[in-house]
Amino acid sequence: MSATGVKIAAVGRYAPERIVTNADFEKTLETSDEWIVTRTGMKRRHYAAPEQATSDLAIAAARDALSRTNLTAQDIDCFIVATATPDYPFPATACIVASALGAIDKPAFDIEIACSGFIYGLTVGSSLVRAGVYRRVMLIGAETLSKITNQKDRGTAILFGDGAGAVILEASETDSFLSSELGSDGMKPELLQVAIGGSRRAADAAALDAGEQFIRMEGREVFKFAVTKMIDATDVALRKANLEKGDLDFLIPHQANRRIIDAAAKYLEMPPEKVLVNIEEYGNTSAASIPLALSEALDAGRIKDGDTIVFVGFGGGLSWGAVCWKWVA
Ligand code: UT7
């Protein structure tokens, strides 16, 4: 084992074809385009087809990332899928993804920490590379939240979408990983959860009738927590990297609500052009939202060699995290 630096060698993404607009929700729920846009910033989300599982989205994003390199799946030493919507309670979705990509006998595991999944995964994956355990790690944030969303609940139905983003972490002489700040508070899991189907409560007929297989959220509570933790985690990550707010070129936040992002950006004194937001197109895609935004920004040529980025997320747990990253082209 030898210590090294890490960089992101390639990024890919996938979003399912079907698009659900605010106008579509106006037909089925007591809501309006105006309410959704002003309260969340969302206009569209992509929904997986009935036959598409999370691994299908993850595989497509991973293939996109690989297609931007000369690598094959066999060149990847470890696969991590961050998801709150795995194909099955077990086995891990990452095992299915790695094999479908053509990787043979490679380590593969999931990280389940809801919307903070990509930030935790970036910390774990980067650490594996920096410690010299693996030369290349494929980290994929992938979700099919539409499958666990109650389409009759206007408080959550309009929020969530499906998608996947994949990054290839690779050993490098220069080190992109500047710092990480992770946290959790499990005192009130009910603030944001799927309450049944685990070892606490079975998915029995009564629970299913009551719609408890779907995401339940105390929106207002989560909103307050989200703003505070995005700011705090970013502050601490910057401090750990010996940087100040003014040193930041880009903030790439979890896309849960435009107002949460704007409130955090205001405190962090980040002008709009430095805050990457694609919530309008995808809604909240949980662990996929940050790599989706990163992938789009790279394709648009917005991120340049040497840029300093903070990736910051929060979600169920409750959980949160920020990673400070120096972009190496
Ligand atoms: O990924 C991580 C987790 N998710 C989040 O971070 C989400 C955090 N929370 C939020 O983004 C916001 O709390 C929501 C978008 C979920 C809700 O926005 P809000 O401004 O906090 O609204 P609210 O829950 O305080 O509700 C205000 C009103 C209520 O009506 P009354 O009680 O004032 O009559 C709701 O019933 O808005 C109503 N409402 C809606 N009205 C139209 C809630 N959802 C809708 C809707 N359309 N879709």
For residue 3, the model assigns a pLDDT of 73
Verify whether ligand 1 is closer than 6 Å to residue 284 (CB atom). yes
User: 26 CB less than 6 Å from ligand 1?
Assistant: no
For the full predicted model, state whether its pTM sits above 0.95: yes
Q: Which atom of ligand 1 is nearest to the CA of 259?
A: 11
Spell out the domains of the chain, with CATH numbers in brackets: 5-175 (3.40.47.10), 178-326 (3.40.47.10)
- In degrees and rounded to multiples of 5, residue 231 shows phi and psi of -70, -50
| Atom 41 (ligand 1) nearest CA | 31
CA-254 nearest atom, ligand 1: 1
Burial class (CB in 10 A: 0-12, 13-18, 19+), 249: middle
155 CB near ligand 1 (under 6 Å): yes
* Residue 40 CA, closest ligand 1 atom number: 15
Mean pLDDT value across the chain: 97
Residue 218 Cα to ligand 1 middle (Å): 9
Is 289 a pocket residue for ligand 1 (Cβ < 6 Å)? no
Give the Å distance between the CA of 225 and the centre of ligand 1: 14
* Contact 109 CB / ligand 1 (< 6 Å): no
Q: Which residue shows structure tokens 């995005």? A: 230
**Residue 9 to residues 26, 70, 138, 172, 282, Cα–Cα distance (Å):** 42, 11, 10, 9, 24
Q: How far apart are CA 92 and CA 121, in angstroms?
A: 15
Percentage of the residues of the chain whose pLDDT score is greater than 90? 99
What's the pLDDT tens digit per position in 259-305? Answer: 999 999 999 999 999 999 999 999 999 999 999 999 999 999 999 99
**For 182-213, how does the pLDDT look when each residue is reduced to its tens digit (9 = 90+)?**
999 999 999 999 999 999 999 999 999 999 99
Compute, in angstroms, the gap from residue 219 CA to the centroid of ligand 1.
Answer: 6
Structure tokens that stand for 198 in this block: 């685990």
